[in-house]
Structure 1
Amino acid sequence: MTIWRPDPALIRRPAYLSLADQFARAIHDGRLENGTRLPTHRRLADELHLSVQTVSRAYEELIRRGLVAGEIGRGTFVQTRKPEPVPPYLPERLGEVIDLSILKPVCETMHHDKMKQALGWLAENLPASAALSFRPNVVFPRHRAAAVEWLGHCGLETSQLNVSVTNGATAGMTVALMAAAPPGSTVAAEAIGHHTLVPLATYLGFNLEGLPIDEDGLIPDALDELCRHTDIRAVFVQPSVINPTATLMSKARRAAIVEVARRHDITIIENDVLGPLIEDRPLPLAALAPERALYVTSFTKITVPGLRIGYLAAPDRFVAAVANRHLVSNWMATPVVAEIATKWVQDGTAMQLVEWQRAAIRKRHSIAAEVLADARFHSHAESLHIWLPLPPGRSEESFVSQARLQNVAIAPGLSFRTSEAPWAPAVRISLGSTDEAELRTGLGVVAKLLLADPEHLLLAI
């Protein structure tokens, strides 16, 4: 039996990634079956006239994707069992790659200077409790007061007693899900949602049901139908532009989802990490249904990425559960970072950075509209990204790989999929993760790929 081998004529730069893509395609197509032993690094390098280092990097990339496994003393084997989920973004920026895969705010030297100034201030003003106390109730009352002020900017009125300070939105989401959805329960979400939801469902032991969406977000009738036939405990929503499709849910749609949640007595978990960045937006669902909504927001996407502090506002009946689950999963947010957030909320720096970000990201959208003028994509004037449906017959894997071979990283749409329903291939492109010149260049590569013949692209991979 002849074992499949990569075609050296199809290898493009960077060679390791092109080689890994050939192996990945052969595995997905069944030409390399589960358990097949791959050639040794040196043997394959000799066959393809590549360096051993290049083959080693290709195998490492396949291991990262969960397609092969290396066994010490035995070799490298195809592994087609379900791998750990791969983040939609690059774990690190390599060489000259234009990274449009990771969702970041626009940042300039000013942001670094602001953090350095804040740390200098902190050196002179750090409270003893922030450095010496283990007790959240000793450290955080003052920070909860600032949180209430900031949540007011988000459109939500609440009490200090209902707020937990968290290490960003991911911690807040996790605690909210732990509080609302015990193991074995069911949580509904948008069919195209947060990329951590699927692994979180596995780790926390709840069932995730992705529901249909339209141009206004989650469809209330679909949620109602699920509630009628399933013992659902919560619905997770991202109504304000942070969702992958950059949708801003209307006031009417928010009210309809609240009505379904009340009728079936389910909890709403609202992820609103952009908060006041979205200038003209309806009130949060948590403001419409304060008795049943857990609300998550943070500063990392709208001020400075290093300000990893967020707020989780909970109804009275969830306060104890949230506090307990926060203790066991995080103990408490990092006090010294909370000091900076509180200072910036109270002296107006945080809102100044939000307003700066709003202007900066609007400019990035103008660049995207110019470079991708012939493409149809979904966006919002203040979203940090665009959602680009691919033309008929184009696969995400091929499109993302071809962009990567041209040193541009974009996020595959499948990373955000929570449903097994029929899928329309798309990619997410971050607008804030690099400077304007690189953004223009990266979008130019995407625009050319959209115009290319898909059969030609397939042969080039």
Structure 2
Amino acid sequence: MTNWLPNLDSRSGPLYLRIADDAESAIKSGVLPHGTKLPPQRDLAYDVGVTIGTISRAYALLRERGLVTGEVGRGTYVQSDDRSGAPIAQDRVTMSYGGTRAIVPPPGKLRFDTTAAIDVGQAEIVGRIMTEIASAHPGEISSYTRTLSPDWLEAGRQWLSSGTWSPEPGQILPQLGVHAGINAVIAAVSGTGDRIVCEHLTYSQVARSANLMGRQIALVESDADGIVPEDFERVCAREHPKAAFIMSSGQNPTLSTLPLSRRREIVDIARKHNVWLIEDYLYGGMIGDDIPLLAEIAPDRTFLLNGLSKSVAAGVRGGWVACPPHMSQRIRITQKMVSGGLPFLLAELSARLVLSGAAFQIRKDVLSEITARETIVRNLFAGHEFRSHPKLPFFWLKLQEPWLSGTFKQAALDADVLIDDEDEFKPARSSRVFHHVRIGFSEGRDRSISTEGLKKVRRILDQSPLGTSAIL
């Protein structure tokens, strides 16, 4: 056991928070090595001159941050690897980088772990536009991109618009897709060690990217309607995050959509605690609901992102971000630093797809096919609990006893179908278990092949884990 005492004079805020923050600094600097037993709460309360309740709240916060572990009667210890007792690297306290998908997927499998835009013949359109660009702009293709064409910004304005609202063109920047744009925003508004708020289930690639940049993840509770404002308030007050990553409509993987009342509450809380909002509208743009965006309610602190990958062409990697006033230049510089810069061909191709109307027509065709496949899902999985949407290319399936998410994923793999278990969407280490899997159905141009894959999944679902090998 250590005789460590927190230095409270160098920090501000509530006592329990100052104690927790100082302990975190001591853990990261090595003053409190992994495996160290922290002082008993009663002893530390006496030495610091505070109540036991204050120390208890500080220790609880350290546990929430994944920095310590404790058992009644044993004490509180700096987190270590449960399997070997060896020190655990700080990045593993939050999340491993790789996720649960194989880097190189097994050949010959149906890809129900993807939600990329369905092939509706868009390659011909893309090829024609690329030929036109190469003919008209040979110099730009052979050089670096140093200016932003007004057409690129106008295309972004059109693609980011929702209902009667549109962002200002001067606040828009083209991106190497939505994911890259989110990375640029996180890098621009936060520093090493800062916290980014994510739901317990979300597009976890954002969290893994943030980890690589030295950021940490603060988890917030959500329900069927999305983020719970009361818990968002708690996280902001206790963890002091710099930004919150939010999928306001068509959340991945749960398909939740934040009601307007919650959006207003979240904005008020973000303003109160000076938290930036990163609004991923990639799936929301496909739904096209009439609920005002967070960016519409709070343009002063919301970064709005949307792109082409789910509804037009994932291989194009086109996207845009609308920034709060006076932040576009900062994001542009950060984007160059973290990505190496924007290719002229990508930006011009994305803009021409939108401004010619081709992107909107392709999206219409993609959504039509999604609707047809989602109808098949509803018919095939009738009698089971799941969430789906006629304009989204995946569904969130609840598993019945005794199925576990991981074992169901393996059973599907044995049947030559790749799906995602719930761990793929956990942005940080968590003991929460949801017993769900996400199943995409956008792979392939042939609807009948997709249907056969869904039938396989349904047959697995109706069986016991012990009996799957006999039916595959």
TM interval, short-chain normalised: 0.7 to 0.9
Residue 22 of structure 1 corresponds to none
Among candidates 351, 357, 372, match of residue 342 of structure 1: 351
Structure 1, residues 314-371: CA drift from partner, whole Å, max 9, x if none?
1124223212211111232221122121112112111111111221111110011111
- Aligned equivalents of 2:337 and 2:236: distance in 1? 30
Residue 442 of structure 1 corresponds to 453
Alignment of 1:167-246 (within 5 A): 167-246=176-255
* Contact 1:188-1:234 at 8 Å conserved across structures: yes
Where does the alignment leave 5 or more consecutive residues of structure 2 unmatched?
1-83
Query: How big is the alpha-carbon RMSD for the aligned residues of Structure 1 and Structure 2?
Result: 2.5
* 1:427 has 2:440 as partner: no
Residues 181 and 389 (structure 1 numbering): CA distance in 2 closer, same or farther, change over 3 Å? farther
- Aligned equivalents of 1:178 and 1:411: distance in 2? 28
SS at match of 2:254: coil
Residue 134 of structure 2 corresponds to 123
* Contact 2:116-2:313 at 8 Å conserved across structures: no
Residue 420 of structure 2 corresponds to 411
Structure 1, residues 7-60: CA drift from partner, whole Å, max 9, x if none?
xxxxxxxxxxxxxxxxxxxxxxxxxxxxxxxxxxxxxxxxxxxxxxxxxxxxxx
* Contact 2:353-2:359 at 8 Å conserved across structures: yes
Residue 107 of structure 1 corresponds to 119
Residue 259 of structure 2 corresponds to 250
SS at match of 1:136: coil
Among candidates 299, 304, 311, match of residue 302 of structure 1: 311
- Aligned equivalents of 1:324 and 1:223: distance in 2? 30
- Aligned equivalents of 2:255 and 2:290: distance in 1? 13
- Aligned equivalents of 2:274 and 2:448: distance in 1? 50
Residue 149 of structure 1 corresponds to 158
Alignment of 1:365-404 (within 5 A): 365-404=374-413
- Aligned equivalents of 2:241 and 2:105: distance in 1? 40
* 1:274 has 2:286 as partner: no
Residues 365 and 308 (structure 1 numbering): CA distance in 2 closer, same or farther, change over 3 Å? same
* Contact 1:403-1:446 at 8 Å conserved across structures: yes
Alignment of 1:47-126 (within 5 A): 84-92=96-104, 94-108=106-120, 110-126=121-137
Residues 154 and 405 (structure 1 numbering): CA distance in 2 closer, same or farther, change over 3 Å? farther
The count of corresponding residues between Structure 1 and Structure 2 is: 380
Q: Which amino acid aligns with 1:224?
A: E
Q: What is the Cα deviation at residue 429 of structure 1?
A: 0.5
Residues 231 and 459 (structure 1 numbering): CA distance in 2 closer, same or farther, change over 3 Å? farther
Superposition TM-score, scaled by structure 2 size:
0.75
Q: What is the Cα deviation at residue 457 of structure 1?
A: 4.5
- Aligned equivalents of 2:149 and 2:216: distance in 1? 34
Superposition TM-score, scaled by structure 1 size:
0.77
SS at match of 1:306: helix
* Contact 1:375-1:447 at 8 Å conserved across structures: no
